[in-house]
Structure 1
Amino acid sequence: MASDPDFEAEKAVASANRGGMSSWFSANTKEDKLEEAAQLYETAANGFKRAQQLRKAAQAFEKAGELYLSYGEKYKAKSAFIKAASSYADASTVVSSNPLPSISSLSAPLRSAPLGSEEAIAEQEADKRRKQHELLNPPKASEDVKRDNRDALRVAQRALSAAEDEQGNTQHQKAKVLEQIAGIHVVLENYEEAENTYGLAGVAYGTQALPIRTFIAGGEKFAKAGAYRSAARMYEAAVAKEKSDPNPSASTAGNAVRYLCKAAFYHFATGDFVTTRRALENYCNIDRKFGQTPEFRLYMDLMEALRANDEKGFRQIREQYQRTAPTDDQRDAILEAKENSLTTPNVDDDFS
């Protein structure tokens, strides 16, 4: 019979709290005892993870990190703290990711409208509107999620401290912890702090590819949270790093323009069209090829249509672009929302 990971984890915690399996009066040194207890806490943490008890897992990893730190094992302490931070950050996600179905949904009969019927078309439109609403209105973190991420931030900062003190530590290891901290700041809506921390991670990574990957990942995290201005700045940072390469390869030659197109979109999404226009003009100075892209023309033309309150013109520009552009649900949802604002004016769209 398979053992219950939750029960096994609790046993390991109890043993660790007693100071390990051996007696404190054995021949083992105090350091040996601390290491044994730390390993038991890690065993417990892994058991809690298998049982989906992530807060307990995080607490056990954190305790292991403290014990490793107590006798100078900085590398093991850092690793345990990183695992603790990840477990804290994921704790509420696991709880909420598989909600129980409602009674009404269980009792409702399964049905499907005939393909092409008015009912089917209405269902498709309703589903489309629901998805658009979700994209345009990212859910705010619940109090439980914020609590878990505050704990994650606290422990990740301990990991960073251990990484900085670690003998022979590389900047790469420090950068990974900084990137983790930045992501937590995004969840907590500390956007300015998140931007700064992503910047520090990029500096710590040092090499060309890793900072760019970090900035792009950060940009998408910001965008998912609806922090479009910060998302644009992350892509601008990726462009700056790309342009700083004195010997760009043929395979990365077009990357800067692609990043500028993403930054342009996120600026447009903010509804601040004065800043967006300035950004687009500046991007043309950064890379003249950007001014030749369909995206540059798209956003400039759409802003003119919005300024003129030209709903028909806006729709024609949008549909013409979408006929040839790759599908992008987020972009399409935002463009349609801007179009709808011509019927229902959106006070957030700022030309002044």
Structure 2
Amino acid sequence: MADESKGDEFLKKAEKKISGWGIFGSKYEDAADLYEKAANQFKLAKAWDKAGNSYLRLADCHLKLDSKHEAASACVDAGNCFKKINTADAIRCYDAAVGHFMEIGRLNMAARYCKEIGEIYEADQDLEQAIAYLEKSADLFHSEEVSTSANQCKQKVAQLAASLDQYPKAIEIFESIARQSMNNNLLKYGVKGLLLNAGICHLCKGDAVAINNALEQYQDLDPTFSGTREHRLLVDLASAMEEGDIEKFTAAVREYDSMTRLDPWKTSLLLKAKNKLKDMEEEDDLT
């Protein structure tokens, strides 16, 4: 633990600088240098809590010197340390960094760390908060015209919204991105996947009429969609739902999955749609 003890030494020297006399600027500049050295030593010793707190003190020094960019960077470094041991503290640090980046107009950096916070909340299964930060990230990326990153965040919002049974919101996002992508030769190839996602969300609502109407709209949006396996899957599933045929539903999913592996998100939603179909069948049996 020799490295940690070195960190403690630098920390004591930094605190002494702060509490002692000296010219305002040089006092905080000297302390900042010592806090950074302390943080580095604590990182080497994997003393993440001490390292994170040292970076927060470094950030305070930068704020005293009116260096908000450096303060934001120190908050990010603190967040990276706390992320290894305490996600709540990591979020607090990244959130502070976002505030500083926003103040100095570094919106791209603010967007990046809103996304980081959103991903932490997602990993912690706090999907409502994850959505809030990913939406903020998408808005900031969009304002900086970083369309690819903005759309990635929006798609994640749509997936999380669907996981919370917020299907209309998810559908609107997937369809909106699909429309935008049709105007971009590089993004056109991804449209069929977006429409498949939107279609699956329609199925989860258990409304066969709505899914059939949606399929007509998708054909207008992308005339090539009707020739894809994604379109065939949605047609077969909509037909199975309309007929109340669980076996047909299962067979269609199995056939598609044998050719194109379904990811866990799609699998989860298709299971919800299948359960919706079962519920509808049971209701019919009771009437």
| TM-score of the alignment, normalized to the shorter chain, above 0.5 | yes
User: Structure 2: any 5+ residue segments left out of the alignment?
Assistant: 282-287
- 1:296 aligned onto 2:231: yes
User: Is the contact made by 1:302 and 1:317 (CA closer than 8 Å) also made in structure 2?
Assistant: yes
Please give the TM-score of this superposition, normalised by the length of structure 1: 0.62
Task: Find the counterpart in structure 1 of residue 260 from structure 2.
Answer: 325
Q: Quick check: 69-78 or 318-327, which moved more?
A: 318-327
Which residue of 3, 9, 16 corresponds with 1:11? Answer: 9
Which residue of 73, 82, 85 corresponds with 1:88? Answer: 82
Task: Find the counterpart in structure 1 of residue 154 from structure 2.
Answer: 215
User: Is the contact made by 2:10 and 2:35 (CA closer than 8 Å) also made in structure 1?
Assistant: yes
What is the alpha-carbon distance in structure 1 between the residues aligned to residue 65 and residue 28 of structure 2?
Answer: 8
Task: Find the counterpart in structure 1 of residue 284 from structure 2.
Answer: none
Which residue of 91, 106, 113 corresponds with 1:177? Answer: 113
Which residue of 24, 35, 55 corresponds with 1:30? Answer: 24
With over 3 angstroms needed to count, the CA separation of the structure-2 counterparts of 1:272 and 1:342, relative to structure 1, is closer
Task: Find the counterpart in structure 2 of residue 113 from structure 1.
Answer: none
Superposed CA offset, 1:30-55 (max 9, x none): 32221232233333334444444434
RMSD: 3.8
Please give the TM-score of this superposition, normalised by the length of structure 2: 0.74
What is the alpha-carbon distance in structure 1 between the residues aligned to residue 170 and residue 2 of structure 2?
Answer: 44
Q: Quick check: 279-288 or 29-38, which moved more?
A: 279-288
Which residue of 39, 42, 45 corresponds with 2:33? Answer: 39
- 1:158 aligned onto 2:96: yes
Superposed CA offset, 1:5-60 (max 9, x none): 4333333333322227xx9456xx33222123223333333444444443443332
User: Is the contact made by 1:261 and 1:296 (CA closer than 8 Å) also made in structure 2?
Assistant: yes
1:1-352 pair list within 5 angstroms: 4-19=2-17, 24-25=20-21, 29-92=23-86, 148-149=87-88, 151-166=89-104, 169-184=105-120, 186=122, 187=124, 188=126, 189-190=128-129, 193-216=132-155, 222=160, 226-227=163-164, 229=166, 235-236=174-175, 238-243=177-182, 248-249=184-185, 251-265=186-200, 267=201, 271-274=204-207, 277=211, 280-326=215-261, 328-332=263-267, 334-335=269-270, 339=274, 345=279
User: Is the contact made by 1:215 and 1:234 (CA closer than 8 Å) also made in structure 2?
Assistant: yes
TM superposition shift of 1:206: 0.8
With over 3 angstroms needed to count, the CA separation of the structure-2 counterparts of 1:162 and 1:287, relative to structure 1, is same
Task: Find the counterpart in structure 2 of residue 145 from structure 1.
Answer: none
What is the alpha-carbon distance in structure 1 between the residues aligned to residue 36 and residue 192 of structure 2?
Answer: 46
What is the alpha-carbon distance in structure 2 between the residues aligned to residue 51 and residue 274 of structure 1?
Answer: 58
TM superposition shift of 1:159: 1.6
User: Is the contact made by 2:170 and 2:198 (CA closer than 8 Å) also made in structure 1?
Assistant: yes
What is the alpha-carbon distance in structure 1 between the residues aligned to residue 11 and residue 174 of structure 2?
Answer: 45
Equivalent AA in structure 1 for residue 66 of structure 2: G
With over 3 angstroms needed to count, the CA separation of the structure-2 counterparts of 1:341 and 1:209, relative to structure 1, is closer
With over 3 angstroms needed to count, the CA separation of the structure-2 counterparts of 1:290 and 1:204, relative to structure 1, is same
TM superposition shift of 1:78: 1.1
TM superposition shift of 1:236: 4.4
Ranked by relative contact order (alpha carbons within 8 Å, sequence separation 6 or more), the top structure is 1
TM superposition shift of 1:197: 0.8
With over 3 angstroms needed to count, the CA separation of the structure-2 counterparts of 1:198 and 1:207, relative to structure 1, is closer
Higher helix residue share: 2
What is the alpha-carbon distance in structure 2 between the residues aligned to residue 279 and residue 46 of structure 1?
Answer: 56
What is the alpha-carbon distance in structure 1 between the residues aligned to residue 175 and residue 83 of structure 2?
Answer: 28
Aligned length: 275
User: Is the contact made by 1:175 and 1:201 (CA closer than 8 Å) also made in structure 2?
Assistant: yes
With over 3 angstroms needed to count, the CA separation of the structure-2 counterparts of 1:18 and 1:193, relative to structure 1, is same
Three-state SS of the structure 2 residue aligned to 1:91 is coil
What is the alpha-carbon distance in structure 1 between the residues aligned to residue 216 and residue 85 of structure 2?
Answer: 44
What is the alpha-carbon distance in structure 2 between the residues aligned to residue 85 and residue 219 of structure 1?
Answer: 27
Superposed CA offset, 1:89-131 (max 9, x none): 4424xxxxxxxxxxxxxxxxxxxxxxxxxxxxxxxxxxxxxxx
With over 3 angstroms needed to count, the CA separation of the structure-2 counterparts of 1:331 and 1:174, relative to structure 1, is closer
